[in-house]
Structure 1
Amino acid sequence: MLLTKKIFTGLILISTYICTGLATAQTSPTTNTSAEASAYPDGIIQFFNEPEGGGAGDGKLKCSLTFVSGTYSFKDGDNACKGQWDDVTRIKVIGIPSASTFTLYDDESCANRDDQAFIYALKSVKNPTTTDLSIPIKSMVPTLAGQLLPGTSLRMEKNLSNRDPRDLLGCVRIQRSAVPENK
């Protein structure tokens, strides 16, 4: 009976994963492949532009990345977000692991220059972390380092805001947390 319940639960999770579109997201060549890692999925980060007429909702999905460690330029990188430079205004995370960080840069090469419009480093504090709606990048301006973004389990680790961040996302750097060792 217990085995049947586990199989049924597994089938529900798989069908939910497929039906929500997570299984079709763009992936990076460095996704986790070990058996231990499969118990701790990578998650996805999605990038949107503003909703039509500035209304509610996520906006138009521009691109998605599997949440694996790496640097992803939106101007000329070799990833699913190539060519979306300065066209993304909102982000959404789906199922990213706790203690993972991602940093949003105005600079298209993810340089840590103090003269760029913004650098926002965010850390997930819940496993898994999913945002219900996309988050406008401009809404990150008032969030101080150490505070949670309102309505999320994402903590601001660094907030450099020199100018309006509207339509300026050039690069994202992801640092996925380590998969726990099998004991």
Structure 2
Amino acid sequence: EEWMALRIGPVVNLPINHLAELSSKLDPDFPVVAVCNSAYRSSLAVGILQRQGFQNVASLAGGSQAWIDAGLPVYGTETQATVSAAPQRHVHLAERISAADLSRLMQDLPGTFDLVDIRPPQAFAEYALPGSRNAEIADLLSNPGYLTGAGPLVIVDRDGSLAMMIAGILSQKTQRPIKALQGGLD
């Protein structure tokens, strides 16, 4: 599974439990770098390959995770149109709501949604949408009370950028519809 999920380049997959026998298919004069997620199995592979006569063998320090952390390119599995019996993970995405749609929602269906303004308290005190409450971003992200509710949670800010980011994060934590005011209050 590790091999299928992520590769650091055009490489050959030789599972460690078959490495001694499969290594005979490789040229022992060519350099070899063994890679696994954590560098544990690849460090074991170095010893196996050296016993098989390979002279220039190394293990990627830190494993493929170090490669990823360094921001180097990786290859994933190429997907093809196939039928899979395994359930697919559904990624919940935040939605944008326009000012016009929010206005209609506020007029036609008051009380069916929660409206949270994440602007600083001073800006909220100067102007706020009717029915909105002010919350700090940290509280919004950590308080599970925001993840429940019968209707959507609508997040507003100055220009819509932070609201959309927060909505995206919260959408991954709940089935509740999370929306961000497009363009914000400015």
Greater share of residues in strand: 1
> Higher Cα Rg: structure 1 or 2?
2
Same topology, TM > 0.5: no
Greater share of residues in helix: 2
The structure whose RCO (Cα within 8 Å, separation 6+) is larger is 1
| TM-score normalised by length of structure 1 | 0.21
